[in-house]
Structure 1
């Protein structure tokens, strides 16, 4: 059986993902990297590692024997408070994890970025996400899967007023997400998690990009199967 590592298990997608992996019975071991204790710490088959992400290089051994690395890390400018802190979470940590995954011989690296990611974007958020993708592409990972969801919907542990307002507005404007705009339609966090789990079970090599509409379709199909 396979072994997985999840970084970001306390977030909307990350928590759903761990449940998906546990329920699938595919993995004999799921290792979680977290800053604090999670709801999965007592689950059978879970190894929880509470670490300081600023010292990721010291934890290389945690990735030994891992087949699939899932990265769902992400913050907001409100929580990060500064651009440097945002870059640390949304760029530096994921890149370091990718480098460690390659060194340890992981077969697949699956990560969430965002719709509209572009290293040349005039918007800071999209530019950082695009720079992350660009860096990951340069690492030559054996199997890289980049998921670009638009607005993530679903119940979070923390209340985010801005995202709730955007979610309500997007529901009213859902008919506009057609044609070229379809890849920007909101997607439920649980469908992103289901899509990531499904993709990890496929034998693959090279780089793959999944836009929001494709993620939603795959996630819904997987949940129904």
Structure 2
């Protein structure tokens, strides 16, 4: 009997995570999908298991049997309220997921980061994103896939007027964002989710970073 493929998703309540949960359940090829979160979701599915956890006090038991880990955790400085709180969500929690799931035997880790992520950046947001990329990539998985989207498009559960305006502007100018600027084009959150699912399906060994063009190509790949 073939070994079961079990996906674990952290961040299912977010914009990318919500799309990703549905894709993993409906067409990801997984025998079981575990949603790890601070609260339960209204979603129901025969292959969905929900585990309520404190991300600051995770244990390896939460990852038993998991083969692929998808991390779509993230916040904003406004939501976090401080740099320390932001770091806990965008660096400490993803790294804990990576370290504990690797110890439990997971083979793949897929992380949502940001275009421009750089551990040496003078910008706090991009520096933290770069640091978590660096630290997760050092964890001994067979495969690590890092996705660096720019502005995300899609319907959010909360109203963010500034992001709505920014998204409209970016849609209008994306046609002239060519060459090195193409990686800054806005992208649908559903496309990022589809790209993550496809990258996991292919399971290419090693460390990989994907930006706009690669994400779009993965998202458009035919599903067998």
Same fold (TM over 0.5): yes
For the Cα contact (< 8 Å) 1:185–1:213, is it kept in 2? Answer: no
Aligned to 1:14: 17
Cα RMSD for the two superposed structures = 1.4
SS in 1 for 2:74: coil
Aligned to 2:38: 35
1:192 equivalenced with 2:192 (yes/no) = yes
Per the TM alignment, residue 222 of structure 1 is displaced from its structure 2 partner at its CA by: 4.5
Task: Give the number of the structure whose residues are more often helix, by fraction.
Answer: 1
Contact 1:4 1:29 survives alignment (8 Å): yes
Q: Deviations over 1:100-157 (max 9, x none)?
A: 1110111110010000000111111111000111111222322100000111100111
Deviates more, 1:150-159 or 1:90-99: 150-159
Structure 2: gaps of 5 or more residues: none
Listed one character per residue, the Cα deviations across residues 161-213 of structure 1 (whole Å, up to 9, x for unaligned) are: 22212101101211231111111111100001111111111132110110122
Q: Does residue 221 of structure 1 match 2:221?
A: yes
Work out the CA distance in 1 between the residues paired with 2:28 and 2:196.
15
TM-score by length of 1: 0.94
CA distance in 2, matches of 1:81, 1:151: 21
Name the TM-score, length of structure 2 as normaliser. Answer: 0.94
Rounded to whole Å, the distance in 1 between the matches of 2:142 and 2:114 is 22
Q: Deviations over 1:41-63 (max 9, x none)?
A: x3211110111111113xx2121
Query: Structure 1: how far apart are the matches of 2:123 and 2:103?
Result: 33
Distance in structure 1 (CA, Å) of the matches to 2:5 and 2:138: 26
Structure 1 portions without partners, runs of 5+: none
Deviations 1:74-118 (A, max 9, x none): 000110010101000000000000001110111110010000000
| Partner SS state of residue 42, structure 2 | coil
- 2:46 aligned residue: 44
Contact persistence 1:194–1:222 (CA under 8 A): no
